[in-house]
């Protein structure tokens, strides 16, 4: 690094720029640690770290602003880079602050959701989004600014730190968006979730009817489930499914992560609805095979079994919903048991 010592303290200016940069890097790290503590429900520590990050950033800006009096191009390039990072740190701090503001309402929204009170969950989510969403544009603007940084104007001893802090900024950006997607799913998925709750109730009744060999009731329930799935193809329901598809539960923690995973599973897209309907078609063939076997028509039962397995295809359905994967697995096992009965063999296991 070349720096021409200027009249009026050029070396002091360089020191201020370096110190300001170091403080800026520290502020980003403290903001990210504050976010981590928030996600672990340590809100007191999160607030303390947030306050420390803001104090550090204030000191950093004082150093950076003081160093602006230089005419040295290298130092000016360094200052430009760290001003970009300082702005990003400020956005990070506001992001954590927003999450702390909505913390109680976020907890309430998840609580209401867990008790299938989707109306109140939606109301709480709406309030949270009013707080969170305005900052999204600032996150995007700061990320674009960081992408415009010139690494040539960063001292070699700080480049690895800069890369780490920029990655922490981007990570917070992603996590912040995940909270937004979670809340948007609760807000926009109210009607879908209510229909899904009815779907799950019909499935429980269907399993009971099959266990009791009540084939007439089972057929009625199959039709109701099929009609429900058809209604969920409507664009207004699929809009909610599209929102839920943005969820990445692995970026969240605790109940927020669990809720995100459930929403991702329950707000099914068209591909998952197709897979569910294939399961229903196969289940109809299973009931047909069972009736035929009871009537002594072994050949007809075997044909129905083969057709039913054909609907299920090979392996698990290509969906992320573990419930649907479990239904596929359970039905295959039921077919295997039925096939052994048709051949006069005792069931295994």
Per-residue pLDDT tens for 139-172? Answer: 999 999 999 999 889 888 899 999 999 999 999 9
Domain end call among 186, 221, 245: 186
Q: Residue 25 domain-assigned? A: yes
Other CB atoms within a 10 A radius of the CB of residue 253 amount to: 15
Shared domain check, 301 and 265:
yes
Please tell me which residue, 349 or 62, carries the higher pLDDT value: 62
Mean pLDDT on 226-239: 96
In total, how many domains does the chain have? 2
pLDDT band at 315; cut points 50, 70, 90:
low
pTM above 0.75, yes or no: yes
Cα-based angle 337, 198, 111 (whole degrees, multiple of 5):
110
Structural domain contains residue 3: no
Whether 88 maps to a domain, the answer reads: yes
CA 163 to chain centre: 25
Q: Where residue 2 falls among pLDDT bands split at 50, 70, 90?
A: very low
Q: Are residues 154 and 242 in the same domain?
A: no
Distance between CA atoms of 94 and 315, rounded to whole angstroms? 47
Same-domain check for residues 213 and 311: yes
CA 278 – CA 166 distance, rounded (Å): 46
146 with 239, same domain: the answer is no
Domain hosting residue 311, numbered range: 190-342
Whether residue 5 lies inside any domain: the answer is no
Q: Is residue 173 part of a domain?
A: yes
Residue 319 confidence (pLDDT): 66
User: Could you tell me the end-to-end alpha-carbon distance of the chain, in angstroms, rounded to an integer?
Assistant: 74
On whether both 113 and 160 belong to a single domain, the answer is yes
Burial class (CB in 10 A: 0-12, 13-18, 19+), 326: exposed
Instruction: Tell me: do 109 and 224 sit in the same domain.
Output: no
Whether 5 has a pLDDT exceeding 50, the answer reads no
CB atoms within 10 A of CB 211: 9
Q: Where are the alpha helices (DSSP H) in 156-297?
A: 156-188, 190-211, 215-231, 235-244, 254-266, 270-294
Same domain membership, residue 194 and residue 179? no
Residue 225 lies in a domain: yes
> Which H or E run includes 8?
none
Q: How far apart are CA 57 and CA 20, in angstroms?
A: 9
pLDDT at 343: 80
Alpha carbon of 205 to those of 226, 267, 276: distances in Å? 14, 21, 17
The C-alpha angle with vertex 250 and arms to 248 and 255, in degrees rounded to 5, equals 95
pLDDT of residue 349: 45
Domain boundary among 186, 209, 241: 186
Burial 87-102 (b: 16+ CB within 10 A, else e): bbbbbbbbbbbbbeeb
């Amino acid at each position: 690094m070349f720096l021409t010592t200027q009249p009026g303290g050029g070396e002091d200016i360089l020191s201020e720029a370096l110190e300001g940069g170091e403080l800026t890097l520290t502020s980003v790290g403290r903001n990210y640690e504050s976010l981590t503590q928030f996600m672990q429900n340590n809100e007191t520590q999160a607030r303390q770290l947030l306050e420390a990050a803001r104090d550090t950033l204030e000191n950093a800006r004082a150093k950076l602003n003081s160093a602006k009096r230089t005419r040295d191009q290298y130092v000016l390039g360094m200052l430009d880079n760290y001003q970009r990072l300082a702005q990003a740190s400020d956005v990070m701090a506001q992001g954590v602050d927003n999450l702390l503001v909505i913390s109680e309402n976020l907890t309430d929204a998840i609580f209401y959701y867990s008790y299938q009170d989707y109306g109140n969950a939606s109301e709480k989510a709406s309030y949270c989004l009013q707080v969170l969403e305005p900052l999204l544009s600032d996150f995007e603007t700061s990320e674009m600014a960081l992408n415009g940084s010139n690494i040539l104007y960063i001292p070699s001893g700080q480049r690895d730190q800069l890369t780490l802090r920029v990655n922490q900024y981007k990570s917070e950006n992603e996590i912040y968006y995940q909270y937004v997607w979670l809340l948007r799913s609760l807000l926009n998925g109210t009607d879908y979730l209510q229909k899904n709750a009815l779907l799950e109730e019909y499935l429980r009744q269907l399993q009971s009817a099959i266990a009791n060999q009540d084939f007439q009731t089972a057929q009625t329930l199959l039709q109701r489930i099929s009609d429900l799935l058809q209604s969920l193809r409507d664009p207004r329901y699929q809009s909610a499914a599209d929102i839920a598809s943005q969820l990445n539960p692995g970026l969240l923690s605790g109940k927020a992560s669990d809720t995100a995973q459930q929403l991702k599973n329950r707000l099914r897209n068209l591909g998952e609805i197709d897979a569910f309907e294939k399961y229903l078609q196969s289940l109809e063939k299973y009931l047909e095979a069972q009736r035929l076997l009871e009537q002594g028509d072994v050949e007809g039962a075997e044909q129905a079994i083969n057709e039913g397995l054909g609907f299920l295809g090979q392996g698990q359905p290509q969906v992320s919903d573990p419930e649907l994967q479990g239904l596929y697995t359970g039905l295959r096992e039921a077919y295997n048991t039925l096939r052994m009965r048709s051949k006069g063999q005792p069931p295994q296991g």
